[in-house]
Amino acid sequence: MKSEETDRQEEKFQKIIQRDKPPYYHLLGIDILDVKLGFAKLRMNYDSKLTNPYGYVNGGFFSVLADAAMACALLGMTEENRRLITLEYKINLLAPFREGFLISDARIVHLGKETAVGDVEIRNHKDTLVAKGLITYAVRGKGNR
C-alpha cells in the first residue's frame, strides 16, 4: 500500500511531465518521458534544422537537452518556491548524431541548500552513448537572485 507521501511525490512527478513545456522544448522537439526522485528522462528527435553543414546536429543542442533533463530531475526534488539556475556545465560529445532520436537521462548526485550537481548521459536511438555531462545548478528561493 502506498503511503500518502509517496502518492504526493508521484503526483508531483506527473505534474512535471504534463506541465506546459517551455517554448524551446517545442522548437527542439523535446519531450519529458519520465521523472522520479532525483531522475529525469527526456527525448529529442532529429531535425535537419539543427544541423551543421555536414548534416550532424550541432553540439550545442546536446547541451540544451542535458540541461533540460537536469532541470526536470531537480524539479522533482525541490519545493515549488525554488528557482533553478544553471551555473556551469561540462559536456563531452562522444559521437555525432544525424538520425533518429536522443534520450537524455539525468541523475542528481548532490542537492545542497544552495547548489545541486547532476550527471547526464545522452544516448541515441541505438542506445549508443553519444554525450556525457556534469551540470551544476543554483537552487534558490524565488525572491533571491
Q: What are the structural domain ranges in the chain?
A: 4-141
Would you say residue 143 has pLDDT above 80? Answer: no
Mean pLDDT for the stretch of residues 102-119? 97
Helix (H/G/I), strand (E/B), else coil: 38: coil
- Asked if 101 and 88 count as a contact pair (C-beta separation under 8 A), the reply is no
pLDDT higher than threshold 90 for residue 1: no
Q: Which segments within the chain are labelled E, that is strand?
A: 30-36, 39-45, 82-93, 101-111, 115-124, 129-141
pLDDT at residue 129, rounded to an integer: 98
Q: Is the pLDDT of residue 102 over 60?
A: yes
Q: In the CATH hierarchy, which top-level class contains the domain 4-141?
A: alpha beta
Nearest to 41 by CA among 12, 65, 10, 8: 65
CA-wise closest residue to 47 among 61, 33, 34: 61
Q: What is the pLDDT of residues 47-82, one digit of tens each?
A: 999 999 999 999 999 999 999 999 999 998 988 778
Q: Find the mean pLDDT for residues 19-40.
A: 94
- What pLDDT, on a 0 to 100 scale, did the predictor assign at position 2? 63
pTM: 0.90
Grid cell locating 113: 541548500
